[in-house]
Amino acid sequence: MSNTTISTSNHAVADAILEPILNPANAIEIENVTVSFKASKGIYTAVQDISLTVKKGEIVSLIGHSGCGKSTLMGTISGMVKPTAGTVKANGNVITNPGPDRGIVFQNYSLLPWLTVYKNIYEAVDAALRNKSTAEKKELVEANLKMVNLWQHKDKLPGHLSGGMKQRVAIARAFAINPSILLLDEPFGALDALTKSNMHVELLKLWNLDNREKTIVMVTHDVEEAIFLSDRVVVMNNGPAATIKEIVDVPLPRPRNKKEIVHNEAYMSIHDKLLSLLIDKFSINDIH
């Protein structure tokens, strides 16, 4: 009698330990979300009735053509856009506003041009983490700037940095508030191909350093980037009233190697699949 109780409680303990590993909690839950805007010609619906769940520690890309509402959908997660219908939850809480549990990296870096690299990050940390002491905040800024190898450039203004460096500042700023969810809105879109490749590797390195616990959602229109970084790629239909066309799994083992991965057969078939989902005309012969 007593033995059975012990064994069941042992099971319970084991389950409690294993459960989050085998079946991680949902970091983001998007439920039947519709976003409409008032436009000059009536109401414009950007995304319609979208549901999507992202697990903790997952990297998910939203991909689609320009204006397909992927940034709008991302906005509902960051709290910058309010859904017209439906709810979005982050770590179980309904999102109403931006919060320090979600770090955002904007497409055009969005650094304040009159503040030094250091100050740009410090002001964000200072605003987002009000309970920390000044010394703790300074420590966070220093650690994150060193992490992206920009400590020696800390006193420069953003105008004196290259595009890649600016984006590293923006990433350091998002990491500095230590969010459990990282939202990247076309983060590498403005960078040249070489810088972009380096940034992909650096981003994954940061994610690894953090024991792959951060959930990352990224908006992109770059198929290779989406496959290299993500666990799942969400392909969206063209707007208006965009919906999810298909969700493609990327079961490639990590760590992934940029050079080797392109020769991997699974990679190639995912690449082909994504291309055919995104493009329906492949040569001029297909245009009638």
Partner 1 sequence: MKNIFSIKTLTSILYFLCGMALMGGIWELVSHLTKHEIPTPKETWVVFKEVIKNPMQDDPDYKGIGTKLISSLKRVGIGFGLGSFIAIPLGLLIGSSKIAMGIVNPMVQILRPVSPLAWFPLGLAIFKDSPQASIFMIFICSLWPTLLNAAFGASHIPQDHKNVSKAFGFSKWKYLIRILLPYSLSHIVTGLRLSVGVAWMVIVAGEMLSGGMGLGYFVWEEGFNGGSVAKILVAIIVIGVVGLVLDKIFMALQKKFTYAV
Query: Among the candidate windows 17-25, 84-92, 119-127, 223-231, which touches partner 1 by CB under 8 A?
Result: 119-127
Restricting to residues 128-157, name those near partner 1 by CB under 8 A: 128, 157
Q: Among residues 106 and 118, whose Cβ is nearest to partner 1?
A: 106
Check binding of 116 to partner 1 (CB under 8 A).
Answer: no
For residue 127, give both structure tokens. Answer: 């605003």
Check binding of 26 to partner 1 (CB under 8 A).
Answer: no
Quote the least distance from Cβ 104 to partner 1, whole Å: 5
Query: Among the candidate windows 66-74, 99-107, 142-150, 191-199, which touches partner 1 by CB under 8 A?
Result: 99-107
Of positions 112, 209, 275, 279, contacts partner 1 by CB under 8 A: 112
Q: Is 243 exposed, middle or buried (0-12, 13-18, 19+ CB in 10 A)?
A: middle
Choose among 284, 142, 145: nearest CA to 206: 145
Q: Among residues 114 and 282, whose Cβ is nearest to partner 1?
A: 114
- DSSP string covering 129-189: -TTS-HHHHHHHHHHHHHHTT-GGGTTS-GGGS-HHHHHHHHHHHHHHT--SEEEEESTTT
Q: DSSP secondary-structure letter at 98?
A: -
Quote the least distance from Cβ 221 to partner 1, whole Å: 20
Instruction: Please tell me the count of residues contacting partner 1 according to CB under 8 A.
Output: 26
Q: Among residues 48 and 72, whose Cβ is nearest to partner 1?
A: 72
Q: 276, 105 in Cβ contact below 8 A?
A: no
How many angstroms separate the CA atoms of 177 and 125, rounded? 6
Query: Among the candidate windows 48-56, 106-114, 189-197, 245-253, which touches partner 1 by CB under 8 A?
Result: 106-114
Check binding of 101 to partner 1 (CB under 8 A).
Answer: no
Of positions 28, 68, 124, 233, contacts partner 1 by CB under 8 A: 124
Quote the least distance from Cβ 146 to partner 1, whole Å: 21
Of positions 8, 43, 96, 114, contacts partner 1 by CB under 8 A: 114
How many angstroms separate the CA atoms of 229 and 199, rounded? 11
Restricting to residues 65-84, name those near partner 1 by CB under 8 A: 78, 80
Check binding of 274 to partner 1 (CB under 8 A).
Answer: no
Choose among 105, 59, 52: nearest CA to 210: 59
What 194-200 contacts at long range (C-beta under 8 Å, 24+ apart), as own/partner pairs, is 195/162, 195/163, 195/164, 196/222, 196/225, 197/258, 198/164, 199/164, 199/167, 199/168, 200/225, 200/228, 200/229, 200/258
Check binding of 180 to partner 1 (CB under 8 A).
Answer: no
Check binding of 262 to partner 1 (CB under 8 A).
Answer: no
How many angstroms separate the CA atoms of 274 and 267, rounded? 11
Interacting residue ranges for partner 1, rule: CB under 8 A:
78, 80, 97-100, 104, 106, 108, 110-115, 123-124, 126-128, 157-160, 173, 177
